[in-house]
Amino acid sequence: MKIHEYQAKELFKDYEIKIPEGYICKNKDEILKIYKTLNDEVVLKVQVHAGGRGKVGGVKLVKSEQEVIEFADRFLGKGFQTAQTENEEFIVNKILVEKVSQINSESYIALLVDGSNQSVNIIVSPEGGMDIEEVASQYPESILTLPINIITGPTDFQIRKINSFLRYEQIYYVQLRKIIRNLYKLYLNKDCSLIEINPLIQNNSGEIIALDAKITFDEDALFRQNSVQGLRDLSQENLVEIQTAKLGIKYIQLQGTVGCIVNGAGLAMATMDVINGSGLKPANFLDIGGGADEHKVSEAMSAVLSDQNVEVVLINLFGGILRCDVAARGFLVALDKYNKKAPELIIRMLGTNSDEGKKILSKSRYNISFAENLNEISEILITKR
Amino acid sequence: MALRIDSNTKVIVQGITGKEGGFHALKCEEYGTQIVAGVTPGKGGQLFNNSIPVFNSVYEAKDKTDADTSLIFVPAPFAPDAILESIDSGIETVICITEGVPVNEMIKIYKVAKDHGVTLIGPNCPGVINPLEKCKIGIMPGDIFMPGNVGVVSRSGTLTYEAVDQLSKRGIGQSLCIGIGGDPVVGTSFIDVLDYFISDDLTEYIVFIGEIGGIKEQEAAEFLKSINNTKPIAALIVGASAPKGKRMGHAGAVISGEYGKAESKINSLKDAGCHIIPHPGKIAEIVEKIINF
């Protein structure tokens, strides 16, 4: 689960990690008021669940009321896209207004779980302020990754190593130690899946400050994190994704024309690859999840049908606990309710009661092609190009 | 690593009185597995399905039945404790099917399992099946498997079934199939399973199914190179068409940087001598080619 930068910074404040003086604003008047009290120069930052804001003008140093007004008019209440948003639009409801910081150095620091060493890892680089992916490909030697032992937490010797790797003078060690220890506490206490500060700066007064902040949370731990659930901003999420998630369906909307309904995440990804391999693009990822009943299956179909771009719906089911006849009835419920012309269906069903499922569907009034395996799905898809 | 399960394996099912636990306990038994007991705290003394004794604790169940393996279905908030109880009771192999266990819990449990020398498979996995010995400890549909000499390892459940279905339809049987689970932190790695398959005389060919996200597939490739493996491996990586940064169902499948991409994984595996399966529909076709080569 993602949150906004200003929310992440509030959490940093709770954990005594220094952040720039800043105020979150919902309209132009609020921004102007803050601008006047902070004087001369401020940094304005749009608050959206998307990275790469700076490159498209969403982060700006402004020096006059006129510039403040222009920024607010350009972004507030409007859709926002960056290179990382894959054509999705995020509405800007809030703008963070911050006092300008003097920057002496910019570093990168992140905490995240790496499955290869079954630990939380701390990743640092003295090359802050640019995309970490870019740093990784251009200057791999300037990235340091240290696993944190779950029993000891980050140790002093590790922090000394980080201090020198970031080219910080000795005097910064005590400050850095506090930051790293507190970030780690925050990571565990709130069940984060990522904390990233880019850049972490040293200012003129010898302070280390988190100039930016990004936190994501482990969705599987939300059941025990009530305060984190309260940080959710539904205006930044896809409505259909939220509704289906409530039923245990994992749906992610994409940009293609072939809707798909699959059980199991791995098979769903493989099915998307099959669609791509046929020269078409998937309209979504959808994993129905375990223990699906007629209602759940019908809601999954409705979610796929709600996407205007869908021209063909591909169903790929491996019946186990999920009985194919039950699934077939669920699909028909959703199709019968759909008030536009139903798209063409390609159906592959295997496993429990699959013959019955196919029979139910073939008797319906919809345009259906049946496939026995993934290769046959490919062949049918190729004819739809 | 005690990855081998067979007709002598005695299994207790934690969460047997739940809907999924009960359903699958019977399916496993039907396939041929020795399900010797169930555990549900507070429901000890009952007989599940008029045949399987239910105990209040794993200690009691192990003491009365001499079980060596546990299969876990309890809901995610209680699954970590269920795994720890099994480990503490002296169970040798713990297979956790439960989906949605917090990652930070798994980091701790992974350490405990390692310290006790316990084999933990999962969580969020389909389990293990040995078609040669008619032993199934998991949720896979038993009827698609057939005995043979191909070992299958995958992060995904239904994709394992897809692979096996293709193999069996071409008359190619399996020696052992293991789903290691889709979460970022799981008890058994690709390397553990590959190491087992390579030393297992009953496994002559290996099907390896990876997916985007993390660097587990690259590490497996490094391992294969380091031991100069000669056993033929057919490898498939799925998720090439997934967009960056989105969680494709499996929490571990978020692409993070270059390493998470399908292309990087495919190159590493190719470099390690694996036969790359170019399309999810061609798994068995490639294996057949390798066998007939």
Mean pLDDT across chain A: 93
Nearest to B281 among A116, A220, A374 (CB): A374
- Domain(s) of CATH 3.30.1490.20: residues in chain A: 21-99
B180 touches chain A (CB under 8 A): no
Write down the pLDDT at residue B258.
61
Q: Is A338 marked active-site?
A: no
Q: Could you tell me which CATH class the domain A240-382 is placed in?
A: alpha beta
Nearest to B158 among A266, A274, A281 (CB): A266
Domain A21-99, second-level architecture: 2-Layer Sandwich (3.30)
- Domain(s) of CATH 3.40.50.261: residues in chain A: 240-382
ipTM of this predicted structure? 0.90
Both tokens of residue A236? 């930044």
Residue A59 pLDDT grade (very low, low, confident, very high; cuts 50, 70, 90): very high
Q: How far is B60 from chain A (nearest CA, A)?
A: 30
Query: Which region among A18-32, A86-100, A162-176 has the lowest average model confidence (pLDDT)?
Result: A86-100
pLDDT tens sequence across A218-266: 999 999 999 999 999 999 998 899 999 989 899 999 989 999 999 989 9
DSSP state for residue B57 in the 8-state scheme: S
- Chain B, residues 90-149, CB within 8 A of chain A, namely 99-108, 110-111, 139-141, 144
Write down the pLDDT at residue B245.
58
Q: What is the mean pLDDT of each run of 10 residues along chain B (293 residues)?
A: 87 95 95 98 95 97 97 96 98 96 96 97 96 96 96 94 96 97 93 96 97 87 96 95 64 55 91 96 97 91
B280 touches chain A (CB under 8 A): yes
Q: Which residues of B touch A271 (CB under 8 A)?
A: 280
Question: A134: nearest CA in chain B?
Answer: B257
Write down the pLDDT at residue A361.
95
Nearest to A252 among B182, B214, B246 (CB): B246
B202 touches chain A (CB under 8 A): no
Q: Which residues of B touch A120 (CB under 8 A)?
A: 104, 107
Question: B185: nearest CA in chain A?
Answer: A115
Q: What residue ranges define each of the domains in chain B, with the CATH number in brackets?
A: 10-121 (3.40.50.720), 140-292 (3.40.50.261)
Mean pLDDT score, A36-60: 92
Q: Which residues of A touch B100 (CB under 8 A)?
A: 220
Both tokens of residue A343? 């798209």
Distance in angstroms (rounded) separating the CA atoms of residues A289 and B205 = 31
In this structure, what are the phi and psi dihedrals at residue B147, rounded to the nearest 5 degrees?
Answer: -65, 145
Domain A105-229, second-level architecture: 2-Layer Sandwich (3.30)
Distance in angstroms (rounded) separating the CA atoms of residues B177 and B171 = 16
- Domain(s) of CATH 3.30.470.20: residues in chain A: 105-229
Under an 8 A CB cutoff, do A116 and B101 touch?
no
Task: Count the alpha carbons within 13 Å of A342 in the hemisphere toward its beta carbon.
Answer: 20
Nearest to B24 by CA among A290, A370, A325, A226: A290
Under an 8 A CB cutoff, do A265 and B107 touch?
no
Write down the pLDDT at residue A129.
87
Q: Which residues of A touch B266 (CB under 8 A)?
A: none
Nearest to A273 among B20, B240, B252 (CB): B240
Mutation pick from A120, A134, A258, A267 vs chain B, by most beta carbons of B within 10 Å, is A267
CB-based contacts of B60-64 (< 8 A; 24+ apart in sequence): B61/B12, B61/B36, B61/B37, B62/B12, B62/B89, B62/B90, B62/B91, B64/B37
pLDDT tens sequence across A276-330: 999 999 999 999 987 778 999 999 999 999 999 999 999 999 877 788 999 999 9
Q: Is A23 marked active-site?
A: no
Strands (E), chain A: 22-25, 42-47, 59-62, 79-80, 90-91, 94-99, 105-114, 119-125, 144-148, 192-202, 208-210, 214-217, 250-253, 258-262, 284-287, 312-319, 344-351, 368-370
Residue A157 has pLDDT above 60, yes or no: yes
Mean pLDDT score, A102-127: 91
Under an 8 A CB cutoff, do B139 and A320 touch?
yes
Under an 8 A CB cutoff, do A269 and B248 touch?
yes
